[in-house]
A = this chain, B = another copy of it.
């Protein structure tokens, strides 16, 4: 009775181990052997559940998108007014990125050739985007956002927030910006161009 075999739910254990490694020690520590060790299995065990490292990364990224969607959805439901809703969703997006920078980075940059090989990932991506589109449409219905293709507007907003976070995480923003302005204030600046009134 060697309990080393048949872990039970190793696949999810590996994903979770990877997420913890990202959270604690960052991207450079996300190695297959590290993940396996953290899950308590031999270094080749992951290959029973993932064809290669990319597949594990894709699973971790998919999980990241799921978490992100939950945060966005919670923010969306927290505000009845569409414009407030937009701000809350944007703030949740930024918060996720700042709370788990490594996981966030891998969620958006870790998956290559997503379309062909990782449909689950693509699905989560579309779900989050659809949420933003819905918020934009709500805003348009209340005349808080100019009319026009809501998908195009949602992409613009997403790009604006995403780019801001990306520059922030990459230390590309002028140092004075972050120190002198709070996040909600920066959000005002970022989103004001898209709002009417």
A-to-B contact residues, CB < 8 Å = 105, 108-109, 111, 114-115, 125-126, 129, 148, 151-153, 155-156, 158-164, 166-167, 170-175, 177, 181, 186, 189-190, 193-194
Q: Give the 4 A-B residue pairs with the shortest CB-CB distance, closest first.
A: A163-B163, A159-B163, A193-B193, A159-B164
Cα-based distance from A155 to B166 in the complex (angstroms): 12
Contact A163 B158 (CB under 8 A): yes
Interface pair A166/B108, CB less than 8 Å apart: yes
Q: A108-B172, A163-B163, A170-B108 are in contact. Are A189 and B151 (CB under 8 A)?
A: no
Known contacts A193-B193, A193-B194, A194-B193; decide if A158 and B151 are in contact (CB<8 Å). no
**Copies of this subunit:** 2
In the assembled complex, the CB of A153 is this many whole angstroms from the nearest CB of chain B, namely 8
Q: Can you pick out 23 interface pairs between chain A and chain B where the beta carbons lie within 8 Å of each other?
A: A108-B166, A108-B170, A109-B166, A111-B171, A115-B175, A125-B172, A129-B174, A152-B177, A152-B189, A153-B189, A155-B164, A155-B167, A155-B189, A156-B160, A156-B193, A158-B163, A158-B167, A159-B161, A159-B164, A159-B190, A162-B166, A162-B167, A163-B166
CB distance from A5 to the nearest CB of B (A): 34
Q: Chain B's nearest CB lies how many Å from the CB of A29?
A: 13
Contacts of A190 in B (CB 8 A): 156, 159
Partner of A177, one of B155, B174, B175: B155
A109 to B105, CA, bound (A): 10
- Chain B residue nearest to A114 in the complex (CB): B171
Give the chain B neighbours of A109 by CB distance below 8 A: 105, 109, 166, 170
Among B126, B170, B174, which residue has its beta carbon within 8 angstroms of that of A151? B174
Is B108 in contact with A171, judged by CB distance below 8 angstroms?
no
